[in-house]
Structure 1
Amino acid sequence: MALAIRDVREHDLDAVLALNNTAGRSILALDAERLRYFYEQADYFRVAEIDGHLAGFLIALRDGRDYSSPNYLWFSEHYPAFVYIDRIVIANAYRRHGLGRIFYCDVNSYAEVRVPLLTCEVFLEPADDVVVLFHGTYGFQEVGQQRMGERGPQVSLLAKDLPSYTYVRDTYLENENSGLPDLPWLAGRDLPLANQDAKARRLAGERRS
């Protein structure tokens, strides 16, 4: 079994949309417009490919994005800097292969050199003890709860401290030679060309902070 975790490509989007919308009640449905937003704006959007087949994906955004998700907005109101996991989906045929943990290790590695906090939410309605246990064993703690809209589900808002960030910030991000080393595993996602200016402004702001 050949596994690759890589940045999403435009030709993946139809398969990602189909996978998302057949994932069940615990994953909110997407339309093509919302998925295009993620493709153009998400700081982290990676897929798992097994033997050439799309096996899953994870989408995450940093603070400061123009994103209307009530859970993302909750974290924006409470924390100045974070990476927010919007969704993770694993295809039925590839569950129980450890892909969830592989994705979480990967997004953790992305986040811990950029921000002090990794965040997400889990649905409490319907309750899923396996999902709650998964996040608990990975170091997430509940920092709040809210209902998504008047009739939406109750969710538990989770956060995981990233202690490595302090060292990275002091050594690289706030050093006079600011910036992470130019290594492939430290590189951020190459957003579509239309968003390169916004990415450049973000990086410039980080170097000045």
Structure 2
Amino acid sequence: MSIVIRDVREHELDSVLALNNAAGVTILPLDHSQLRFFYDHAAYFRVAEVDGTLAGFLIALDQDSPYESSNYLWFRSHYPAFVYIDRVVIASAQRGAGVGRVFYADVTSFAETHAPLLTCEVFLEPRNDVAVLFHGTYGFQEVGQQVMIETGLRVSLLAKELASYPWVRSTYLDKPDGRLPDLPWLATRKRKPAVRLATGT
């Protein structure tokens, strides 16, 4: 089995939307405009191909996104810099095949060059023990809980310290040009300039 992780392409958004909305109760549904927002603003929006077939996607945003999710805003009110995993979806036929682990390895490598923390949340209502255990094995720790205003459901807010980031910052980001090497896997996606919105938090 061959797994390839790459940036999403615009013509694939309908397929991504179908994957998202078939994922079940642990993934919030999206409409076309919400998915387009992610395409325009996500720092990381990559898909997985398994033997040439679209098998999943992962979307993550940095601290400068104009995103209004209550979970994202919780992290923005507590931390100055982070990469936030909003959602990861794997097609049902490919679950258990290691696609999620490949995604987390890839997004961690990306995040380590951009922020000191990788963050996300998992549902506690209904409790998703598989997700809790999965994130625990990747070094995430609970840093808070809240009830989402969008759903009324309680979530566990998780963060993972990225050990390589201080070295990346001192070696590259704190230099006069502040640039990472020009390599595709280090680059954020081209996107519209972020507009910081008032959050009231």
Band of TM-score, shorter chain: over 0.9
- Counting aligned pairs with the same residue, the percent is 66
Q: 1:150 to 1:121 in 2, by over 3 A?
A: closer
Q: Who is 1:87 aligned against?
A: 87
Q: Who is 1:180 aligned against?
A: 180
Distance 1:186 1:68 in 2: 26
Q: Where is the helix percentage greater, Structure 1 or Structure 2?
A: 1
In structure 2, give the amino acid aligned to 1:30. L
Q: Who is 1:122 aligned against?
A: 122
Relative to the length of structure 1, the TM-score reads 0.89
Runs (5+) with no aligned partner, structure 1: 202-209
Distance 1:150 1:28 in 2: 10
Query: Which of structures 1 and 2 has the larger relative contact order (alpha carbons within 8 angstroms, sep 6+)?
Result: 2
Q: CA deviation at 1:189?
A: 1.9
Deviation readout 1:65-115 (Å, 9 max, x if unpaired): 111100000000000000000000000000111111110110001100110
SS of the aligned residue for 1:72 comes to helix
Distance 1:102 1:168 in 2: 22
Distance 2:24 2:150 in 1: 21
Deviation readout 1:105-134 (Å, 9 max, x if unpaired): 100011001100000000001112111010
Give yes or no for the alignment of 1:73 onto 2:54.
Answer: no
In structure 1, give the amino acid aligned to 2:33. E
In structure 1, give the amino acid aligned to 2:122. V
Q: CA deviation at 1:51?
A: 2.4
In structure 2, give the amino acid aligned to 1:124. L
Distance 2:58 2:74 in 1: 20
In structure 1, give the amino acid aligned to 2:95. R
Distance 1:151 1:103 in 2: 26
Distance 1:183 1:56 in 2: 24
Q: CA deviation at 1:151?
A: 5.2
Deviation readout 1:36-84 (Å, 9 max, x if unpaired): 0001111100000122211000000000211110000000000000000
Q: Who is 2:134 aligned against?
A: 134
Aligned residue pair count: 195
Distance 2:37 2:149 in 1: 22
RMSD of aligned residue pairs (Cα, Å) = 1.5
Distance 1:13 1:42 in 2: 13
In structure 1, give the amino acid aligned to 2:137. T
